[in-house]
Structure 1
Amino acid sequence: MAFWDNLWRGGNAAQFDSGSSASNSIELTKRHATVSLSKQGAATGNMRVNLSWRMRTSDIEGRSKQSGRLLRHPFKLFQPEVVQAHTQGVVNVDLDLGCMYELTDGTKGVVQPLGGLFGDLNGPPFVKLSGDDRFGAPSGETVFVNLDHRESIKRLLFFVYIYDQTPAFDRTHAKVTLYPSNGPRVEIELDERAPQARSCAVFALENVKGELVVRREMKFVYGFQADLDRLYGWGLQWGRGYKSKT
């Protein structure tokens, strides 16, 4: 089971307008790891942060690679197919999106599905989780950040973790997308392989002398949120948390 901060107790999930998404996008990579929302003119309004994923299977990928090999080597079509054991079939993974926050007044906490810590959009921490997707639906999971209160936000750390399942980050195609109220969307692919990891710090949003800067992190840990906390020096008190069964 994962861990959660018991200082905050949020209410029920709500739905919000998502903000407009531009036709163009910025992809954060190892070489190009930062972008300034302020310089993009995107540091106001409600920013939508979306986690989406789909499962990959060894069967599907195997067939795809096999088709590519046959196109390059057509005579292999007449060779008998090697049958592999189905030791890695479809894995049902529940990825969750969370956000640790630190406000300029020193308040710290976390927004995440565990413990019903859904946050608040119009009051501190100005971060709100819209719901919990347990099935990898196309809509994924979404967190909203009220950037009209950017002067109250010191730093945010968005992370993804696997809830109550076998570690399987390497079995998913996952992506986190930021949709500011203005300007291009920002995309971060979880494309690094860490088969045994349970959590991943995806990106940080920091207020640097009034400028909002997004920085790609992509740091996998083999533990839970408390391990991410120690890695980034948040200093929260963590305890066991569970999801509602409804």
Structure 2
Amino acid sequence: MGFFDGLLGARAVDFDSGGTGNAIELTKRHQTVSLSKQGAATGHLRVNLTWRMRSSDFGMRRPSLLRHPLKALKPPEIQGHGQSMVNVDLDLGCLYELTDGTKGVVQPLGDYLGDVNAAPYIKISGDDRFGSGSGETMYINLDHRESIKRVLVFVYIYDQTPAFDRTHAIVTLYPSSGPRLEISLDERHPQARSCAVLLIENVKGELMVRREVKFVYGFQAELDRLYGWGLQWGRGYKTKA
């Protein structure tokens, strides 16, 4: 099976929403969870990236708490913002390896959007360039879990401007049933351009999710070397919005 097999000819599909229960936060102390043991290893696993700019990035002064005491209850991130205020474009993607040895990437860059009904059984939907409320979403078809060996979900900054220290990003996994899983990218790495967020592995038939949160100063090729994927990389570009 070729590198780009399954990336063309994808057809529309109704995805399960799932994961409406409580959240489980994956942290340094609690890094792993078994989807199989939670009965959540079937259906479409929805992976969502959302982010907000930190207010300090815009030089905003905090209002006086004496005049506005309720302001202390508001978070330091801006809840909404327009295109003119944002110059950070976070993208969601993944490296995948199937049990037959096929390896590849699913990401907006280069329009490698994947296919949820055929190999690699992963599809990314949309490219949020301005950090809107819906963010970016990827679907993994766990009904084909026996064909999936490992999936490395990553976040990268397309415009090459290191800005992870100016954003508050969260990657959330919504299984077809059970609680959602949340991973926050709150560590300050001002020069990093990419982050390996989580690894999904098929371990003897059991689907495991492990928090990674490893920031690197390069792009996908550096993540590839870090995890031993062995792909060949070239310069990619986005189409204009």
Contact 1:50 1:143 in 2 (8 A): yes
User: What corresponds to 2:113 in structure 1?
Assistant: 118
User: What corresponds to 1:230 in structure 2?
Assistant: 225
Q: How does 1:1-246 map to 2 (within 5 A)?
A: 7-8=3-4, 10-11=7-8, 16-58=14-56, 62-63=61-62, 67=65, 90-246=85-241
Q: With the length of structure 2 as denominator, give the TM-score of the two structures.
A: 0.86
Contact 2:34 2:206 in 1 (8 A): yes
> 1:121-166 CA distances to partner (integer Å, 9 max, x unpaired)?
0110000001111111100000000000000000000000001141
The SS at the match of 2:62 is helix
Contact 1:57 1:90 in 2 (8 A): no
> 1:93-127 CA distances to partner (integer Å, 9 max, x unpaired)?
10000010000000000000011000110110000
The SS at the match of 1:123 is coil
Which amino acid is the alignment partner of residue 51 of structure 2?
W
User: What corresponds to 1:77 in structure 2?
Assistant: none
Which amino acid is the alignment partner of residue 159 of structure 2?
D
Unaligned runs of 5+ in 2: 70-83
Deviation at 1:17, TM superposition (A): 2.5
Unaligned runs of 5+ in 1: 1-5, 72-88
Larger radius of gyration: 1
Contact 1:16 1:130 in 2 (8 A): no
Moved more, 53-62 or 228-237: 53-62
Instruction: Give the distance between the partners of 2:109 and 2:9, measured in 1 at CA.
Output: 12
Which amino acid is the alignment partner of residue 63 of structure 1?
R
Instruction: Give the distance between the partners of 1:16 and 1:163, measured in 2 at CA.
Output: 29
Larger RCO, structures 1/2 (Cα 8 Å, 6+ apart): 1
> 1:145-194 CA distances to partner (integer Å, 9 max, x unpaired)?
00000000000000000011411001111000000001110000001110
Instruction: Give the distance between the partners of 2:130 and 2:31, measured in 1 at CA.
Output: 29
Runs of 4+ in 1 over 4 A off after TM superposition: 11-16, 59-62
Instruction: Give the distance between the partners of 2:47 and 2:15, measured in 1 at CA.
Output: 12
User: What corresponds to 1:83 in structure 2?
Assistant: none
> Considering only aligned residues, what root-mean-square deviation do their CA atoms show, in Å?
2.2
Aligned residues: 222
